[in-house]
Amino acid sequence: MANQFDMPTTYDPHAVEDKWYKYWEENKYFRSVVDPEKEPFCIVMPPPNVTGQLHMGHALDNTLQDILTRWRRMQGYNALWLPGTDHAGIATQAKVEEQLGKEGTNKYELGREKFLERVWEWKEQYGGRITHQLRRLGSSCDWDRERFTMDEGCSEAVQEVFVRLYERGLIYRDYYITNWCPHCQTTISDIEVEHRDKPGQLYYIKYPVQGSPGEFIAVATTRPETMLGDTAVAVHPEDERYMHLIGKTVVLPLVERQIPVIADEYVEPEFGTGAVKITPAHDPNDFEVGRRHDLPSVQVIDREARMTKDAGARYQGQDRWECRKRLVKDLQAKGLLVKIEDLSHAVGHCYRCSSVIEPMLSKQWFVRMKPLAEPAIEVAKDGRLQFIPERFTKVYLNWMENIRDWCISRQLWWGHRIPVYYCLDCDEVIVSKTRPEKCRCGSTNLEQDPDVLDTWFSSALWPFSTLGWPHKTVDLAYYYPTSVLVTGRDIIFFWVARMIFSGLEHMDDVPFREVFIHGLVLDALGRKMSKSLGNGVDPIEVIESHGADSLRFMLVTGNTPGNDLRFHFERLDGSRNFANKIWNASRFALMNLQDYAPEKSPGREQYTLADRWIVSRYQRAVRECTEFLEKYELGEAARVLYEFTWNELCDWYIELVKPRLYGKTGAADREVAQHVLAVVLRGALELLHPFMPFITEEIWQHLPHRGTTVMRAPWPQYRNEQVDGPAEERMEIVMEVIRGIRQIRSEMNVPPGKQAEALIVTAVPALRDVLAGNLAYVEGLANCQAKVLTKLGEKPEQAATAVARDIQIFVPLRGLIDVDKELARLNKDRQALEKDLARVEGKLNNPSFLNKAPAEVVDKERGKQAELSSKLGAINERLAIFGDR
């Protein structure tokens, strides 16, 4: 055990955190190797973007994973937390293109090969930033196993999966409506589109009926610029208003092209005019209608979100918004615009750059989802895979049961290039993991598909590609399926669902047994943190100011599975105070354990009531904390540890045991006190370690212990035989009396150094026996001389009273305080309160105020009234103690 002077008087997180993390990492304490004799526990880290830096969402997610990993490791599991990063196709390419722009060049001038060299250089320079920051947080990952979605092994897995799915007929290429981002210059999947309510307009446009002068169909649209690509007008087949027009043609305004009127049940007669313009090239629903009716597709908006030549010479080259303005003016000029209505509607935006998405017809690669979704639905229904909280099972199933085919091609250069080759001589399509030497026709004139795969395609393989698949590795056989996935509710569709169907398809088993869903970290007002709002909080800045342990404990306390968490700096300060409390209490304990001999283990018959009580309370903390962790109630587990450590161990037991530690009750009793304090303090630190790894390691190393690190210490085992209900009940009686006397001293402003007299009166023999046998605790912690009485002959003059169970407590105040001075203070406070109360009641008795003031203002005044009345009542009670003076 180290000398107490090795432990500074104040806790400095900076001096502690770097030291211990290096110690853990250098000694390979995070390392996990296959051991058939031990049960594995495995978590794969949701790979953060290689472009990224730690934000509060990462901090919460990785804190939860680290708590579970450290806990299971201490329980004896062979715990592996496998880290890695994602290549983040769109975001990373954007970063490098921005850099090239500053240099006055672009990717096209460099060419694909040179551009990719620049991206890899950027990744090597900046890619380690977030993993360094995760170390600052205390993440106990096996860094020797760190993976990257574009490393050799993961890339091989991607190629293998693409070829397998293609050969099974589950990957195909076709023209389809996709979500195109004009800024990022690529398609994005449906779930990468953020739909935001925006103010807009609904334009009602006349489509003249061919051959019927003066007759027209009015069509309502929010995107009039797309009408230039209309190829039909659709009505419901049972809509009597338009049945006579079905099969006829209308003239497309401004374009003067004749288009048919068709009948389709897709149309909702109640919406708008009941007639819908059909633009197959620029709307996913219209595309399906077009397929059913064999309509042509006319693309009038290009990849730059500018109008094409098919939009007509008047509009060609214009930006889509510019075209809208001109087109509306032209319609008005020709008398073809019926009206414009304001409305609020959902508009799709790119989740990366926030540009408005343009639905666009293009030839893309897709995964056929129905066959893959079916087994993924079954495992959630039959319990082979469980969501925590359970309510997210419905969210997952709802999406999977209504899933659409997944567009997996992206018009980028950075990423896994699609393993498809086209023969330029015979148009043969060759799907191969390696570049073919020649086509079946004998031609060597082959060209690889220029697109890359969606980033989520590779991360969907993460639980098994990181363990060596497609090779049958020892790691894969031992660690797969992994134990639990910890992730936010916002990527259930992006990532979780895709890992589930990928694991079932390629490993014939779920990728994890449980999915632990947490919420988002919001600001103090309940808003999502974002750059645009400027309300983000940098975790690294918090670690610099408060320490990693304080941040971790704040993030987990009050956190319930699946629910969002509000970030309050006051709670962060509270966590730092907790760390300081642990430090100061531990330092005091160590100062009194210098001559402690751990080998001398006293029998329980030597324990005092306080000893039996704290040991019993500690055992309950062990049981409750472990049970909550098993249920993923990490916030509740943290609450149990906070209350036990701060309230029971630090505030009560250490104070109760001080006279014994100081030798006032004899050497033998001191040894018992030292033993109990050392054992319980060490156990509390071991329970706290997964939550606050740094401070617990620092203190634990100063205590008598076995082993080299607290993170490898055995998790405390619950021992029912050490739970002592009667001792807890008796100690609670003593504590209630102490609290009663302390409350009197506080309310009556008795100086802390003055010893009081306390008369404790109870007619209950059992209560009297408990108090009589433990008066030393009462006198020591309440700074009083106490007597236990069966009944009180005459009530002492000027005595304050308190009640605890069937116990009355009297504390005579004469000689303890300056009565005249206290009376003057109380009367002054009473007058101020009466004045404030009269003012508030005057408002509440005023009909004009009650009728005109907002309800929340009236409620606030009523709250003030109740508070002032309560305070006034308390002061009158105190004044009554002094009689009529």
DSSP states of 389-456: STTHHHHHHHHHHT--PEE-EES-SSS-B--EEEETTT--EEE-SS--SS-TTS---EEE-S-EE-HH
Cβ-proximal residues to 344 (8 Å cutoff; 6+ apart), any chain: 197, 198, 199, 200
- Looking at 465-614, which runs of residues are DSSP E strands? 482-488, 512-518, 521-522, 565-566
Listed in order, the ranges of the chain carrying CATH 1.10.730.10 are 584-723
List helix spans (H) across 111-219: 112-126, 129-137, 152-167
Cα within 13 Å of Cα(731), Cβ side: 19
Please name the amino acid found at residue 732.
E
Listed in order, the ranges of the chain carrying CATH 1.10.287 are 820-881
pLDDT, position 2: 45
pLDDT, position 244: 92
End-to-end CA, the chain:
61
What is the rounded distance in angstroms from the CA atom of residue 529 to the CA atom of residue 460? 26
Handedness of CA 31, 36, 38, 42 (dihedral sign): positive
What is the rounded distance in angstroms from the CA atom of residue 493 to the CA atom of residue 504? 16
Query: From the CB of residue 309, how many other CB atoms can be counted at a distance below 10 Å?
Result: 12
Residue with tokens 């930033």: 129
Domain 820-881: give its CATH architecture.
Orthogonal Bundle (1.10)
What pTM was computed for the model?
A: 0.84
Short-list 229, 324, 218, CA closest to 272: 218
Please name the amino acid found at residue 379.
V
pLDDT, position 4: 44
Residue with tokens 């009158």: 876
Cβ–Cβ < 8 Å for 23, 702: no
β-strand pairing of 78-82 with 275-278? unpaired
What is the rounded distance in angstroms from the CA atom of residue 465 to the CA atom of residue 88? 17
CATH for the stretch 728-812: 3.30.2320
pLDDT, position 883: 66
Give Cα 432 distance to the centre of its chain: 40
* Radius of gyration, alpha carbons of the chain: 36
Cβ–Cβ < 8 Å for 805, 767: yes
**pLDDT tens readout for residues 8-65:** 899 999 999 999 999 999 999 999 999 999 999 999 999 998 888 889 999 999 999 9
Residue with tokens 């509440």: 844
Cβ–Cβ < 8 Å for 758, 749: no
pLDDT, position 191: 65
pLDDT, position 829: 82
Cβ-proximal residues to 337 (8 Å cutoff; 6+ apart), any chain: 203, 204, 205, 206, 328, 331
Listed in order, the ranges of the chain carrying CATH 3.90.740.10 are 186-359
Cβ-proximal residues to 604 (8 Å cutoff; 6+ apart), any chain: 612
Query: From the CB of residue 852, how many other CB atoms can be counted at a distance below 10 Å?
Result: 10
β-strand pairing of 84-85 with 78-82? unpaired
Query: From the CB of residue 636, how many other CB atoms can be counted at a distance below 10 Å?
Result: 20
What is the rounded distance in angstroms from the CA atom of residue 555 to the CA atom of residue 542? 12
pLDDT, position 3: 41
Cβ–Cβ < 8 Å for 404, 369: yes
CATH for the stretch 584-723: 1.10.730.10
**pLDDT tens readout for residues 477-522:** 999 999 999 999 888 888 999 999 999 999 999 999 999 999 989 9
Segments in the chain below pLDDT 70: 1-5, 191, 532, 883-885
Short-list 436, 481, 538, 499, CA closest to 149: 499
Please name the amino acid found at residue 604.
R
Furthest C-alpha separation in the chain: 117
Domain 186-359: give its CATH architecture.
Alpha-Beta Complex (3.90)
pLDDT, position 740: 94
Cβ-proximal residues to 825 (8 Å cutoff; 6+ apart), any chain: 749
User: Per the structure block, which two tokens stand in for 325?
Assistant: 């303005």
Query: From the CB of residue 697, how many other CB atoms can be counted at a distance below 10 Å?
Result: 23
List helix spans (H) across 228-319: 284-293
Please name the amino acid found at residue 181.
C
What is the rounded distance in angstroms from the CA atom of residue 183 to the CA atom of residue 352? 10
Short-list 637, 649, 665, CA closest to 584: 649
Short-list 819, 690, 688, CA closest to 749: 819
pLDDT, position 177: 83
The answer on whether 531 is annotated among ligand-binding residues is: yes
